[in-house]
Structure 1
Amino acid sequence: MANLTFLSLVLTLLFLLNFQVRNAHKLGPKFPYFDKIYQFGASKADTGNLIRENPSGSTLCARFPYGETFFMNATGRCSNGLLIIDYTALSAGLPFLKPYKEIGADFSNGVNFAVTGATALPVETLAAMNILSPYTRTSLHVQLDWMASFFNSTCHSNTDCAERNANSLFMLGEIGSNDYTYALFQGKSIQEAKQMVPQVVGAIANGVRRVIQFGATRVVVPGNFPVGCFPFYLTGFQTNDSTAYDEQFHCLKDINNLSIYHNEHLQQAIDELKTQNPKTTIIYADYYNAFLWILSKAQLLGFDVNSIQKACCGIGGNYNFNMSKFCSMPGVPVCPNPYRYISWDGIHVTQHAYKLIFEWLMHNSLTKLPLHF
């Protein structure tokens, strides 16, 4: 029954996706299916936690032109505007999720625990592998501890928490790609990164178990993106060896195969979790194929086909990206029309691309599963 109710929610979401971004706040009443959202993850979901952890102003996403398209100022979101979680909230008739680190924030409709740069594995575990987490010590484990503290302060008992969260949606990721990114850019081989996959997936699976302990009945677990198609990786691992790239999109095959390997293990873990928790709806969100769909339909979707792997906010090189001149640094220009670009700053995508990814995810869920009211 939980699956059917969740699918009914997905259909309702799909029919509301024709809103204009500027008028998104004018959506009607929230859905009766869920009244709160709890988000965990890293930079593709952070709505302002890292910039509050690091208020010195050194965080790149804390400065303009981040946020220029929708908010007209930087909010800590690593894009020019809205993220997938923002579209999820708007389509549910809920306000944008406030970051957990925002003092005095209204958390009546949920909390965003995601932190830019976060890893799935604890930083101590990575350090034992000689891998440093350069931006934050707030791993998924820490975010889950934040959640536990939050619920322990707002629920009177486990039963009370379960009742409060019966109509909540838990978004557990995307997370894990930073673990591999830090490993690879700090000299680890693809094979060494692959050896990390069971631990990374295990940390995510443990996260699902922990949210279920607090009464979660609807959990979405996104997979990793095909980051071998992102300007950051294409620049960092650029090579004259043509066999390193796939023929269709000119993405780095070994990097994308690592994402595929992670996603396969994650889906296996989700299947096991479903068996262990039959009363909980756990859905895998296929970010990987959603992104490839955008690449395959780029011209039809209005993107500049000559710039589908170039950063909008960047400078230099084949991918308009320089490893030492990131977006928001002085002298780094922004493309005149972000809606024509998929990538925003080399590792994150534009608001328009996030919207299309969200739409693909909703449609893809419906085409795979039977629907009843």
Structure 2
Amino acid sequence: MDSSKLMFSIPISLFILVINLCTVPMLGNCFDRIINFGDSISDTGNAYISSGNASTSIGTLPYGMTYFQKPTGRWTNGRVIIDFVAEHFNLPFVQPSVGGKTPEYFKKGVNFAVGGAGVLNNSEFTRMSGINPAQADNSLWVQLQSFNKLLPLIANGSDVSAMMKKSLIFVGEIGGNDYNRGLASLVPLEKITTWVPHVVSAIGSAVNDLINLGATTLVVPGNFPIGCAPVYLMQYETNKPEDYDPKTGCINRLNNFSIHHNTLLQEEIKKQRQLHPKAKIIYADYYGALLNVYQHAKDLGFKTPLQACCGYEGSKYHFSYAHGCGDKQSSVCVDPSKALSWDGIHLTEASYHAIANGILSGTYSDPPLSKLC
């Protein structure tokens, strides 16, 4: 068959997806560095280093097995979204902020993301939810404080505003853990929904603070379709077919919650654009980019898209709190490149690559990230 005829025989949504799964051409000289804030979705080693390399999960194989062939403190089998963004702009992988002591270390960027971090600081989260977070406070507010302390090293004698102008800044994805704490504690979804304006407002405040420091190009990602995550498919499993999306098998009400967060976040971004008309504030649609993959999973070779690649054999979704990835009772799927979920909570490198290409191509970024330079 003629290749042009074959191309047009593919449904347009799937054709867009195939393009997004391919490598987007690299661009150079757009930015001097990337500055990133977030949680385990973009953590490149902060949580692992801060623990004294004592983590029993991300500090051991099979974490890191696909690209690095060793654990790096990333919560997946290879690269994360911010790694693919760095490659696209011809920059090195973004270094974790913990351990950096010299201007040279921070010359090409710095990553403040920490696994487990939420948007709200621990005391504020407790006041709102009544839940006392078990982990150290690595919230977005704390990450911004760390950033301010390191500014002299990052700027290295340059004007801070000029340095920020030449930086691509990612504010998230973050916020998922604020909700995860409630979901894990079985707080009713209706109550967790009341937390969303507080979380979104705090993200907007961080964007505002960064722009006041001189930032001119910021990417603010939305939340994932959490109703597709094995951890919640197991926890919120029902016997009612109407609770699930017939096309993906994901839980409708959890995905609708993500949509609610993303809708309010986009409204907050519009507000910040009005306050700062000279800044470029880009919404990265992680939800849409990933859901598109779930919707065409079988066509793309993902045979069991709702199962974790690395997890407990004895469970429906290959996930267990008691036997997580790296546990002696866990196993790894034959081909992680054909899996969407890595450990039931975090995604595989393949998923992150698809999301990165979706936003870098401009299909899932508003305004298009592809038109920055």
Q: Give the drift of 1:31.
A: 1.5
| 1:217/1:321 CA distance change after superposition, 3 Å | same
Q: Does 2:299 correspond to 1:300?
A: yes
Moved more, 279-288 or 314-323: 314-323
RMSD: 2.4
Q: Secondary structure at the match of 1:235?
A: helix
CA contact (8 A) 1:341 1:350 kept: yes
CA contact (8 A) 1:132 1:182 kept: no
Q: Which residue identity is paired with 2:43? A: D
Moved over 3 A (4+): 14-19, 152-157, 365-373
1-side partners of 2:332 and 2:229: how far apart?
17
CA contact (8 A) 2:221 2:286 kept: yes
Q: Does 2:62 correspond to 1:57?
A: no
Q: Give the drift of 1:359.
A: 1.1
Q: Give the drift of 1:17.
A: 6.0
2-side partners of 1:250 and 1:297: how far apart?
12
State percent identity of aligned pairs: 37
Q: Secondary structure at the match of 1:138?
A: coil
CA contact (8 A) 1:170 1:218 kept: yes
TM-score normalised to the size of structure 2?
A: 0.88
1-side partners of 2:165 and 2:347: how far apart?
32
Moved more, 237-246 or 264-273: 237-246
In structure 2, the partner of 1:132 is 132
Q: Give the drift of 1:165.
A: 1.7
2-side partners of 1:31 and 1:340: how far apart?
31
CA contact (8 A) 1:17 1:91 kept: no
1-side partners of 2:258 and 2:152: how far apart?
35
In structure 1, the partner of 2:121 is 122
2-side partners of 1:118 and 1:81: how far apart?
20
CA contact (8 A) 1:98 1:107 kept: yes
In structure 1, the partner of 2:328 is 330
Residue number among 80, 91, 94 corresponding to 2:77 in the alignment = 80
In structure 1, the partner of 2:147 is 147
Q: Which residue identity is paired with 1:346? A: G
In structure 2, the partner of 1:102 is 99
2-side partners of 1:182 and 1:231: how far apart?
16
Q: Which residue identity is paired with 2:327? A: M
Q: Give the drift of 1:302.
A: 2.9
Moved more, 119-128 or 193-202: 119-128
In structure 2, the partner of 1:18 is 23
Q: Which residue identity is paired with 1:18? A: T
CA contact (8 A) 1:161 1:214 kept: yes
Q: Give the drift of 1:187.
A: 2.7
Matched residue count: 349
Q: Secondary structure at the match of 2:170?
A: strand
Q: Secondary structure at the match of 2:62?
A: coil
CA contact (8 A) 1:98 1:111 kept: yes
2-side partners of 1:154 and 1:360: how far apart?
30
CA contact (8 A) 1:246 1:252 kept: yes
Q: Give the drift of 1:244.
A: 2.1
Q: Give the drift of 1:135.
A: 3.5
In structure 2, the partner of 1:162 is 161
TM-score normalised to the size of structure 1?
A: 0.88
1-side partners of 2:178 and 2:293: how far apart?
25
For residues 1-373 of structure 1, the aligned pairs below 5 Å read 18=23, 31-55=28-52, 57-104=54-101, 106-128=105-127, 129-155=129-155, 160-304=159-303, 307-315=304-312, 316-363=314-361, 364=363
2-side partners of 1:186 and 1:344: how far apart?
23
| 1:220/1:107 CA distance change after superposition, 3 Å | same
Q: Secondary structure at the match of 2:331?
A: coil
In structure 1, the partner of 2:13 is none
2-side partners of 1:335 and 1:59: how far apart?
20
Q: Secondary structure at the match of 2:256?
A: helix
Moved more, 229-238 or 112-121: 229-238
In structure 2, the partner of 1:23 is none
Q: Which residue identity is paired with 1:230? A: A
CA contact (8 A) 1:163 1:215 kept: yes
2-side partners of 1:281 and 1:104: how far apart?
31
2-side partners of 1:365 and 1:189: how far apart?
31
Q: Which residue identity is paired with 1:140? A: L
Q: Secondary structure at the match of 1:165?
A: helix
| 1:116/1:107 CA distance change after superposition, 3 Å | same
Name structure 2 gaps, 5 residues minimum.
1-18
Q: Secondary structure at the match of 2:85?
A: helix
CA contact (8 A) 1:51 1:59 kept: no
| 1:352/1:16 CA distance change after superposition, 3 Å | closer
1-side partners of 2:311 and 2:371: how far apart?
44
Q: Give the drift of 1:256.
A: 1.1
Name structure 1 gaps, 5 residues minimum.
1-13, 20-26
CA contact (8 A) 1:245 1:253 kept: yes
Q: Give the drift of 1:60.
A: 2.1
